[in-house]
C-alpha cells in the first residue's frame, strides 16, 4: 500500500504550503481526500519521566496526496482552521484515533491518547455530542486528552470554559499546547481549566547548552505545578535533555530521543520493543 512506501514521500519542501495555497482548492481537496482515504494518523509516544513508562500517545495527522506526496499538517491545518472543513477533519481524526486505539487494546497496549483540536471546535455543539457518544461506549476506558494551541484566540472565556468543564466531567483532560509561543498565557492559565501544559520545542532544543533557557524552563515547570498542572516537555531529542528535565521535576517528555511519530503498525512494534528493554 501507499503507506508502506511512506519513506519515499518524506521529502518536504518549504514551498509546499505556499504551493498548496495557490494551486489547491482545499474545499474540494479535503472531502475528496477523506473519501479517497488519503489521511492517516501517526502516533507519538509521551513518556512519564519518573517511571520511564509510556503514558500516552498523541495522534498527528498526515496526508498522502496522490500527486503531491506526503503533506505535513502545518501545510494545510492552518488554512482549514478558518473554515468549517476543520470540523470534518477533526471528526475524522477522533473517529480514526478511537478506532486504532481500540485495536491497540488487542495488542495489550493501554495508554491515554491525545488529539489536537483548535479551540473554536468547542463552540461547535456537534463536536461535543460527537465526543460524548464515544465516551458512552466501551472505548471510554481510554482517557481522551485534547490538546489546544496556546495561540488560539478565546473570544468568550466564559463560554469556552464552560464547554471545557462539560467535557472534563466526562473524564477528558486538556493540555495547553506550544506553551510559551502565544500571547495570552496568563489569561489562558487562569481562566481555562487545563490539566497540563506542553512546553514548546523552541525552549527545549537548546536546553543542554543554554543556561537562560534552563532557567526559563525551570520557572515554567514551577508555575505549572503551582497552578496544579502537570508539565510536558516537547522536542526532547537527547538523553542529556531527558536527565536535565528529570532533575527539574518535569513530568513527561516527548521527542525524537524516544521515537519519531509512527504509523499504527510501527507504533505497535516500537511499543513492544520499548517495553521489553
Q: Which residues bind ligand C2E (CB under 6 A)?
A: 44, 60-61, 72-74, 77, 93, 116-118, 147, 149, 177-178, 201, 234-237, 254-256, 261
Interacting residue ranges for Ca ion, rule: CB under 5 A:
116, 147, 177-178, 234
Sign of torsion, CA 101 102 108 114? positive
Binding partner of 261, given ligand C2E, Ca ion, none, CB within 5-8 angstroms per partner class: ligand C2E
In the chain, how many H helices and how many E strands?
11, 9
Report the residue number, 64 or 255, with the smaller CB distance to Ca ion. 255
**Residue with the shortest CB distance to ligand C2E:** 255
Q: Which residues neighbour 215 within 8 Å (Cβ) at sequence distance 6 or greater?
A: none
Q: How far is the CB of 180 from ligand C2E (least distance, A)?
A: 12
Q: Which does 75 bind (CB under 5 to 8 A by kind): Ca ion, ligand C2E, none?
A: none
Residue 80 near which of Ca ion, ligand C2E, none (CB within 5-8 Å, type-dependent): none
Report the residue number, 17 or 24, with the smaller CB distance to ligand C2E: 17
Q: What span, in angstroms and rounded, lies between the C-alpha atoms of 30 and 143? A: 28
Shortest Cβ 108–ligand C2E spacing (Å) = 25
CA distance 270 to 12: 24
Calculate the alpha carbon distances from 253 to 7, 45, 69, 117, 200 in Å.
25, 9, 30, 20, 11
Residues 109, 131: Cα–Cα separation, whole Å: 22
Amino acid at each position: 500500500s501507499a503507506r508502506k512506501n511512506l519513506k519515499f514521500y518524506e521529502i518536504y519542501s518549504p514551498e509546499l504550503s505556499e504551493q498548496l495555497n495557490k494551486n489547491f482548492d482545499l474545499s474540494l481537496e479535503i472531502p475528496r481526500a477523506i473519501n479517497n482515504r488519503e489521511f492517516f494518523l501517526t502516533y507519538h509516544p509521551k513518556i512519564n519521566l519518573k517511571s520511564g513508562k509510556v503514558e500516552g500517545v498523541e495522534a498527528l495527522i498526515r496526508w498522502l496526496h496522490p500527486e503531491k506526496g506526503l503533506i505535513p499538517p502545518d501545510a494545510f491545518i492552518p488554512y482549514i482552521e478558518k473554515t468549517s472543513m476543520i470540523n470534518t477533519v477533526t471528526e475524522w481524526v477522533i473517529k480514526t484515533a478511537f478506532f486504532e486505539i481500540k485495536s491497540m487494546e488487542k495488542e495489550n497496549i493501554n495508554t491515554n491518547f491525545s488529539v489536537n483540536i483548535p479551540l473554536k471546535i468547542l463552540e461547535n455543539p456537534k463536536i461535543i455530542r460527537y465526543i460524548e457518544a464515544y465516551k458512552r461506549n466501551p472505548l471510554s476506558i481510554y482517557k481522551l486528552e485534547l490538546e489546544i494551541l496556546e495561540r488560539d484566540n478565546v473570544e468568550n472565556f466564559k463560554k469556552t470554559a464552560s464547554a471545557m468543564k462539560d467535557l472534563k466531567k466526562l473524564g477528558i483532560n486538556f493540555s495547553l499546547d506550544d506553551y510559551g509561543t502565544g500571547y495570552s498565557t496568563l489569561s489562558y492559565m487562569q481562566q481555562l481549566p487545563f490539566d497540563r501544559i506542553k512546553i514548546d520545542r523552541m525552549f527545549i532544543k537548546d536546553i543542554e547548552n543554554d543556561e537562560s533557557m534552563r532557567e526559563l524552563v525551570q520557572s515554567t515547570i514551577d508555575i505549572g505545578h503551582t497552578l496544579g498542572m502537570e508539565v510536558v516537555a516537547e522536542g526532547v531529542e537527547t538523553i542529556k535533555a531527558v536527565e536535565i528535565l528529570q532533575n527539574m521535576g518535569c513530568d513527561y517528555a516527548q521527542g525524537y530521543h524516544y521515537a519519531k511519530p509512527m504509523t499504527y503498525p510501527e507504533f505497535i512494534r516500537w511499543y513492544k520493543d520499548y517495553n521489553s528493554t
